[in-house]
Structure 1
Amino acid sequence: MSSPVEILLKSLLVIDRLSVTPVYIQIARKMTSAIQRGVLVPGVKLPGTRMLAEMLEVHRKTIVAAYNEIDAQGWIETLPNRGTFVTKKALVIPSEPLKNGLDYISSHPQRAGFLFRESMLLDRSVSVSRTELEFTDGLPDVRLAPLDKLSKAYASVLKRKNNSRLLGYSHVEGNEFYREELKSYLNNTRGLHIKKENVMTTRGIQMGIYLASMLLLERGDHVVVGDLSYYVANMIFQQAGANILSVPVDEHGISVESVKKLCETKKIRLLYLTPHHHYPTTVTLSAERRVALLNLSVQYGFVILEDDYDYDFHYHSSPVLPLASADASGMVVYVGSFCKAMAPGLRAGYIVAPENFIVELAKLRRIIDRQGDLMMEQALGEMLREGEIQRHLKKAQKVYHERRDLLCSLLKDKFENELIHSLPPGGLAVWTEWRKDINLMKVSRECLKKDLHLPQTLLFQTGKLSAVRLGFGNLDEVEMKRALDILEQAVKK
């Protein structure tokens, strides 16, 4: 007669013959899980290898290998002339009574058995589309990215023997060569006057905002943003415990007078700006207001966090230089990236700030990301030195200029009675203000039925405002016409 343990093991150790996981590993994992859950209690004697092999219809060597694996992990012990036992030191994880032992140990718990903080602040996130067409908030067309040049540069970096050092730990501020090239690029294109010691690389702009907020903000600090503002940055500030104060934004950017009035009544710690093209309305902060805000930051002691997310794309005249280019007092922390210039999946961001701030920021970065991808940074640095990224931006700017004009032309033709919009001077999105009687959420749902994704994060509908931020960078001419046709049908319905 079979023992209770043998009967139990026969029901627990069901082998998937089609799995790529070796059979002995399957057996070892399931037995280990049974021991951890207390199904096989400490001290119980296990069947011999020959008997268990016959029971499971496998070779005896498979069971020997499985027992060796479990023994190496310390879950069982073999006593001479006595047999193999579950060690009495085995950790038993308390659990609910098993309804079906096999189902229970083959699936992970859906909910945690412990308490933790849950946040509503982070619920609104960027949605991932599975539709054929999608409006974004201003993402580039990854099909235009110079992937052939990047792959050749990356392969070349990997092949060089002296680059093996890049696979180990190095400077947490980022690849030194890349920072040197990035420094030159930023100085030439943005009017900065920095050294590589003023630069730290990140995994994109959001990481830069997060790290700066972690270092700068304490719970209860006041952060000033535009009304409206970038929702991800707002979530980061709220998660840090800051109080968000909003000020109006007009056709010349954020209101300096409103910022000044707040400074007169409250201690402002940080002002968050997207000055080149304000998010989401795309207006450019005037040069006069930039000077005024820099003076206010010195007078009242608040930090300016300058998010220059799409500086590389401007279509009419030379762009207004960043506030960081005129910061003589060390009050500006400047964040940017190549994610919009190249592709969102290429997480290549950077922070520019006074050197002592970068040193402290690097200590904080070490906790969550030791140094980034030094190999990729080396490849990007070489592309900068050879002018490949600059040439790509020049070509892409022409394409995006044409797409912007096409979108604005189609909006005028199809939605003359439904919305108003202005021609943005740069960037990859158009701000559209709609009639208030149009339910934008219903429009979004109707678009989805036609395989067009209009994300909720692009909709701004309140009692005072009804607007949509429409990105055009990711859509070619044919796709854009189809998308606008679907949008028109959804609005009419």
Structure 2
Amino acid sequence: MSSPVSIPFQSYIRLNADDKTPIYLQIVFEFIKAIQTGLLPEGTRLPGTRLLCKLLSVNRNTLIKAFTDLELQGFIETLPNKGTFILSDQKQKPKTRRTAPTEQSSETRTSITFRQSSVLENPIEVSSLAYQFNDGWPDLRLVHTDVLARLYVSKLKRQKNTGAWQRMQTQSHKDFKRHFSNFLNLTRGLRISTSNLLTTSSHEISLYLVIKLLISAGDKVVVASPGYYLSNMTLSDSAAQIITIPTDHEGINTDHLRRVCEEQKIRVLYLTSNYHYPTTVSLSAKRRMEVLELAERYDFVIVEDDYDFDFHYDNNPILPLAAFDTHKRVVYLGSFARSLPSGFGYGFVTAPDGFIKELEKHQNILEPGVDIIKEQVLTEWIQEGEVHRLSKKNRKIYKERRDHFVSLLKENLGQRIKFEVPSRGLAIWVEWLDKFSLVRLQKECAARGLFLPNTILYQTRALTATRLGFGHLNKEEMETAVTILRTSLQAIR
């Protein structure tokens, strides 16, 4: 772990002297939020209290009081003569076996010096418990792996005796991009050609390339709060200055966004407009137009992330901002067919052709080759309508699961929660009406065989919420998981 002094605490520990909440509690809530979103991963060594007081401009007694509270809740651990460390509850080890991150073992000791990231630790946790919630993953048991495998093998055999391999590669990639751009135009209301499209191996690569090209150190980037932890990690690692704005039942607060734009120069607005992560709220039509207007007036770029477009349950899916972008202010990225098996999915970026050409230069370093056989298989699936048939079939299954999950939540937890039934996606944003520790609920659920990862838990002074993914669970698994959730809640109440 890099030196704690280099961690940009000021960028995500935000204190407000005018807030009625005591400063020490603000510190507690801000640290919990940073830990749960992955900005302060397990093992991060915090600066000494005197130095951190200077960084945050607070009284040392106030900071010590906040740290005492955080330690009692299990978020940090102080080791004598070694320092204070971020402690993940799921990975907590007995103190007698814990090694301070500053001590190098023989496996990590090296003479090579290199820059280490304090924000890119993988926040995804793995558990062997029988039942698990996640933040909205599809069910891989529904994947038509056999069909894809047969198509892939048949095309691979067909190319064994092909002579002009290089020419065939170039033509196949052009065909794939042509059919893929038509597919996006048809399903998302875009008006793009192949020159406006970049395909990548994953959604994460798309986001990384876009941020690398758009953002320089110190650029101001606006994100929603609460926000998407993976994108926030990538933005923080780019040394951007992150500015958060609140959300409500209509999406991001555009009045707040306007005030931010009036006060400082914004480079990028990162937005999940159709299906805000984590709250599942769609940006209202009025605010969509306001966002586009503000981008033009204040000269910033909208990075619109639409990774979950495939999972909508009505006949009129909400079109992305990119479909109405007359001023070419939107860089639209997403994923293609999240229901496909690992290795067959795609990420993509649509943007003005000059931007795409520059992205391709960077992609040629990260991904110098393309899987032509995979592209041919997916081209055939698009041509024959198989992608549409699979998507329609899966949407029906996931809609049935959503409705069953909603009925289970109402039946088992109806008096203790509030939520809106989402019209898209594979998760439900549940706000708890009672005030209790989500860490305690997490422990009680684990003791009964249900895993709640930190990435789905959201707790501040004003909010206690969880993002409960249902897509990967069948009806019987849902019933067991919700029963454990109800029993665990009763235990801590």
Q: TM class by shorter-chain length?
A: 0.7 to 0.9
Amino acid at match of 1:426: R
Conserved in 2, the CA contact under 8 Å of 1:140 and 1:428? Answer: yes
**Could you tell me whether the CA contact under 8 Å between 2:145 and 2:341 is conserved in 1?**
no
The reply to whether residue 435 of structure 1 matches residue 441 of structure 2 is: no
Which region of structure 1 is more displaced relative to structure 2, 402-411 or 483-492?
A: 483-492
Which digits, 9 at most, give the CA deviation of each residue in 1:408-452, with x for residues without a partner? 111111112322111111111100001352221122222223332
**C-alpha displacement of 1:163:** 8.6
- Counterpart selection for 2:403 from 384, 405, 408: 405
Q: Tell me the distance in 2 between the aligned counterparts of 1:330 and 1:440.
A: 43
- Going from structure 1 to structure 2, the CA distance change for 1:163 and 1:471 (only over 3 Å counts) comes to farther
2:299 corresponds to which of 292, 298, 301:
301
Indicate which of 232, 248, 251 corresponds to 1:250. Answer: 248
Structure 1 stretch displaced more, 443-452 or 107-116? 107-116
What's the TM-score once normalised by structure 1's chain length? Answer: 0.74
Alpha-carbon spacing, 1:433–1:153, altered in 2? closer, same or farther (3 Å) = same
Q: 1:164 to 1:217 in 2, by over 3 A?
A: farther
The SS at the match of 1:267 is coil
For residues 176 and 192 of structure 1, do their structure 2 counterparts lie closer, same or farther at Cα, with a shift above 3 Å needed?
Answer: same
The CA distance in 2 between the partners of 1:163 and 1:232, in whole Å, is 44
Quote the Cα distance in structure 1 between the aligned partners of 2:170 and 2:350.
15
CA distance in 1, matches of 2:253, 2:318: 17
Distance 1:226 1:173, change over 3 A: farther
1:393 to 391, 394, 397: 391
Change (3 A) 1:434 1:172: farther
- For residues 231-257 of structure 1, the C-alpha deviation after alignment (integer angstroms, 9 at most, x for no partner) is 110111111110111111111111111
Deviations 1:372-398 (A, max 9, x none): 433212211211111111101100101
Q: 2:390 aligns to what SS in structure 1?
A: helix
Give secondary structure in 2 for the equivalent of 1:175.
helix
Q: Which residue in 2 is equivalent to 1:101?
A: none
What is the correspondence of 1:144-223 to structure 2 with a 5 Å cutoff?
144-161=142-159, 175-223=173-221
Once the 2 structures are TM-superposed, how far is the Cα of residue 166 of structure 1 from its aligned partner? 10
2:487 equivalent to 1:489 = yes
Given the alignment, which residue of 380, 404, 407 partners 1:382?
A: 380
- The alignment partner of 2:401 has SS state of helix
Deviations 1:16-60 (A, max 9, x none): xxxxxxxxxxxxxxxxxxxxxxxxxxxxxxxxxxxxxxxxxxxxx
Aligned pairs for 1:273-292 within 5 A? 273-292=271-290
> How far 1:111 sits from its partner (Å)?
3.4
**Separation in structure 2 between the aligned mates of residue 481 and residue 163 of structure 1, nearest angstrom:** 54
Matched residues in 2 for 1:159 and 1:196: separation?
Answer: 28
Contact 1:186 1:192 in 2 (8 A): yes
Distance change in 2, residues 1:112/1:375 (3 Å) = farther
Tell me if 1:421 matches 2:419: yes
Letter in 1 for 2:301: V
Residues matched between the structures, number: 387
Deviation (angstroms), 1:123: 3.1
In structure 2, which of residues 334, 337, 341 is the aligned counterpart of residue 336 of structure 1? Answer: 334
Is the counterpart of residue 264 in structure 1 residue 262 in structure 2? yes
Deviation string, structure 1 residues 296-351 (Cα, Å, up to 9, x no partner): 11111111101111112222341221111111121111111125343455441111
**Contact 2:180/2:379 (<8 A) preserved:** yes
Partner of 1:93: none
| Residue-by-residue CA offset, 1:104-133 (whole Å, 9 max, x unaligned) | xxx983433333333331235222333322
Task: Return the alpha-carbon distance in structure 2 between the equivalents of residues 169 and 331 of structure 1.
Answer: 35
* Aligned residue in 1 for 2:358: 360
Seen in structure 2, the aligned counterparts of structure 1 residues 237 and 376 have a Cα distance that, compared at 3 Å, is same
Of residues 463, 466, 469 in structure 2, which corresponds to 1:465?
Answer: 463
CA distance in 1, matches of 2:207, 2:395: 26
Partner of 2:135: 137
1:318 corresponds to which of 297, 316, 319: 316
SS in 2 for 1:441: helix
Q: Secondary structure at the match of 1:295?
A: helix
Cα RMSD (Å) = 2.3
Structure 2: state its 5+ residue gaps: 1-104
For 1:291 and 1:274, how far apart are their aligned partners in 2?
Answer: 15
1:366: Cα distance to partner? Answer: 1.5
User: Could you tell me which residue of structure 2 aligns to residue 22 of structure 1?
Assistant: none
Q: Distance in 1 between matches of 2:164 and 2:330?
A: 31
Q: Deviations over 1:219-242 (max 9, x none)?
A: 000101111110110111111110
Which residue identity is paired with 1:194? I
TM-score between the two structures when normalised by the length of structure 2: 0.74
* Whole-angstrom distance in 1 between the partners of 2:473 and 2:161: 38
SS of aligned partner of 2:267: strand
Alpha-carbon distance between aligned partners in 2 of 1:163 and 1:208, rounded to the nearest angstrom:
34
- Residues in 2 aligned to 1:138 and 1:129: alpha-carbon distance in whole angstroms: 16
Distance 1:277 1:469 in 2: 13
Secondary structure of the structure 2 residue equivalent to 1:268:
coil
Distance of 2:123 and 2:344 partners within structure 1: 19
Distance 2:172 2:263 in 1: 40
Letter in 2 for 1:361: L
Query: Percent sequence identity over matched residues?
Result: 41
Output the CA distance in 2 between the equivalents of 1:147 and 1:484: 30
Distance 1:287 1:304 in 2: 16
